[in-house]
Amino acid sequence: MLSELMFESRGKVIGQRVLTVENGIPKFETSLAGTGIFTGSLEVTTTWTYWAIQRPDGTSYSQGQGVIMTKDGRDVATAIGRAEGKKVESGNMRYVGAIFHETHSENKLAFLNHLVGVNEYVVDALGNYEHKLWEWK
């Protein structure tokens, strides 16, 4: 069962490079930076790096890792995730997947320890993204 929407963020692609090309299929590494809000009031910054394989049919598979930090920098959580992506009618790339969180925080981000989330990440042609997360209970 999924929770109500618990996190929303926006940001920008801050870097991209080609990792490999095998049999004509490119593998890209992408880094993102953004800001977000958990359950309406806890503001955080996020930094992510993921790699994605672009398949010949236009779909994509990705794996990544990220750091979530309170605005004051005192609480930190990490996350790893996997997702499947495809182009949607708007021309944006939409990824859906799962994210696994971990933290040693005993304060503001403690609720993220061992939290498994289902997410949606949409990025446009200019590198702007929106990310949403629901807890998978």
Q: Select from 124, 57, 43, 61 the least CA-distant residue to 98.
A: 61
What is the domain range of residue 63?
A: 2-136
Q: What's residue 40's pLDDT?
A: 76
CA distance 98 to 118: 5
Does the pTM exceed 0.75? yes
Distance from C-alpha of 53 to C-alpha of 55, rounded to nearest angstrom: 6
Domain count of the chain? 1
Percent of the chain with pLDDT over 70: 100
Here the CATH number for the domain that contains residue 50 is 2.40.160.20
pLDDT digits (tens, 9 = 90+) for 79-117: 999 999 999 999 999 999 999 999 999 999 999 999 999
Amino acid symbol at 63: Q
User: What is residue 131's predicted lDDT score, i.e. its pLDDT?
Assistant: 98
